[in-house]
Structure 1
């Protein structure tokens, strides 16, 4: 009976080893070891964040470059359209300058009359 009681106490002591006064006794590390461990964990977290930011800035850079190319192409297209439009306006100017105002009025009136005639015939 004495032997079983001793076994019970030793088992109980091994089971609850490290618990003192209602709390768990922390393993004994020096503050330097704890600081190094926390620093290593923080460095790993920072490395992850830096790699995410690096990928994000790379994506932003690619997007900006693609938009710049698109804007350059659109600017070139607008320049060519402006050239075509200015050529057309110049042609109209020469037509209006060479014709007399009476002929021009007759031409506009005939176009309006033709338009109205076609409109009423299709209706």
Structure 2
């Protein structure tokens, strides 16, 4: 029985304007109060309709966002597959170069030149900032 009350309370908490539906003019209990006028019921019903409409729009917006994110993820997955193919081709080319002795020597030379220019750039940058 308390589970039903907690569930009902959590559902009712969705509607910020009322602390509970009973206070808002919609009374679902067996003891119906004759104090509530038809005008108050109509007003509460209109408020409830507005909130339901708002929640419907919100859920539609959430669905649109989910669909957009899924499209982006699909595109990104396709691009990753394409780049994986390019990288595997590059890896195969490097394997062929390293299998030959002259290719290994050329790669070492290129590696040393790149490292030298990076070191030279770093030294020039440090000297320029220290002045």
TM-score (norm 1): 0.57
1:18-70 alpha-carbon deviations (Å, 9 max, x no partner):
xxxxxxxxxxxxx6473433322211111010011111111111111111101
Which residue in 2 is equivalent to 1:68? Answer: 70
Q: Measure, in 2, the Cα distance between the counterparts of 1:109 and 1:38.
A: 86
Considering only CA atoms, is the larger Rg found in Structure 1 or Structure 2? 1
Structure 1 spans left out of the alignment, 5+ residues: 1-30
Structure 2 spans left out of the alignment, 5+ residues: 1-32, 125-131
Structure ranking higher on relative contact order (CA contacts 8 Å, 6+ apart)? 2
Change (3 A) 1:104 1:94: closer
Which residue in 2 is equivalent to 1:106? Answer: 105
RMSD of the TM alignment (CA)? 2.8
Q: How does 1:1-123 map to 2 (within 5 A)?
A: 32=34, 34-97=36-99, 99-100=100-101, 103-104=102-103, 106-111=105-110, 116=116
Could you tell me how far 1:105 is from its partner in structure 2?
A: 5.1
